[in-house]
Structure 1
């Protein structure tokens, strides 16, 4: 695996590069946002992006990466507030890890986004609102389904309007949409979407759900079942 580490603090970059190298990861190091953008000219499987860079804010760098590449991006930063997490995911990050982190968890997240960069297609799930009862009145004009998740094309539409999602947001919605109305436990979601355990990962899931609801334009489409998990409600 080829990883681009964007980190200006050598006290962090040097030992981390050594650890990743021992786990079979070929690390290229960039100290600035411009160096990172230049490095995308070669093959890179994952970008590990710090937000506090000397020339550009990491959010800006992520947005510029997204304009030229779909390489998975993991933001690694001390900014732990929910607003920063949501903003990072909205502009195209695939994951968000806060410092200090456990190196085992970081490795798991790196491998997870790399595996899911080219996921196996799932059957299309089209979730339409229930049809109105039959009557003697003239049939109404057909309406677009409330929610359509096209797994093969990785495309989501809400009543005919396409919604742009990050890779993880799409994977989360595609999982829930497999069985509309059925509750998926948090542990199952973390295992299938992030390939990790629930322990210590609650905030990651909550942030992605919040961002997904905002983009769908109807928070009730993804319902929280308190103490259990989440389900898709297409006719919300």
Structure 2
């Protein structure tokens, strides 16, 4: 499943342009045309908010402050103003980025990926020390995995895949998401390496467990998840 994005902008042309473009990239997109509507939608869990500064009812800076009280997701400001004091204010109230209209869709997509990756890495730093499922125990601080109290040798990338999935149990990650979050953009590998890494992980787990339990489960046509 893709990340959930909320677009907050009173310009319906912006909405009609951005929403399908982001959905093509695999994101789940909702939108609000004013600040009050945006705040009412925050009972849902969004991964990123694209927030216009010049809203008709509540200014975007105030909306950002209110969102930050209930959701730690990255907020990227979209605005027609490029003034330095406006950018500074946006960062002070909790925004992580500031994109001036008109903007390039390619640039926006790249920035989205960067901030989503940073958020995932930040989440990883705050997870509990141990994650245990069945016979598998993951030590987040030591970066090691035991099965039935025996230390099992996983490669760095294999471990990183297991850690990514296990700290988000039940959440489905596509091969594209796993590749972007774990492999560097300059890597010589391609996305097909994910399938081989998953196969090796499963083989090592199966060889060391006393019963057949598929810890990394395939959601056909979507991706992989940890546990049920």
* TM-score, structure 1 normalization: 0.50
Distance in 1, matches of 2:113 and 2:36, equals: 25
Name the counterpart of 1:144.
Answer: none
Report what 2:49 is aligned to: 47
- d(CA) in 2 for partners of 1:42 and 1:67? 14
Q: CA deviation at 1:43?
A: 1.5
Partner of 2:168: none
SS in 2 for 1:97: strand
User: Is 1:93 aligned to 2:89, yes or no?
Assistant: no
1:81 maps to 2:83: yes
SS of residue matched to 1:117: helix
For residue 69 of structure 2, the aligned residue among 62, 67, 70 is 67
Equivalenced residue count is 125
Deviation at 1:72, TM superposition (A): 0.7
| 2: CA distance, partners of 1:111 / 1:38 | 26
Shift of 1:50: 0.4
Show the 5 A alignment for 1:32-43.
Answer: 32-43=34-45
Q: RMSD of the alignment, in Å? A: 2.0
Q: Which residue number corresponds to residue 13 of structure 1?
A: 15
Task: Look up the SS of the partner of 2:120 in the other structure.
Answer: coil
CA offsets 1:141-192 (integer angstroms, 9 cap, x no match)? xxxxxxxxxxx9xxxxxxxxxxxxxxxxxxxxxxxxxxxxxxxxxxxxxxxx
SS of the equivalent of 2:39 reads helix
The normalised TM-score by structure 2 is: 0.52
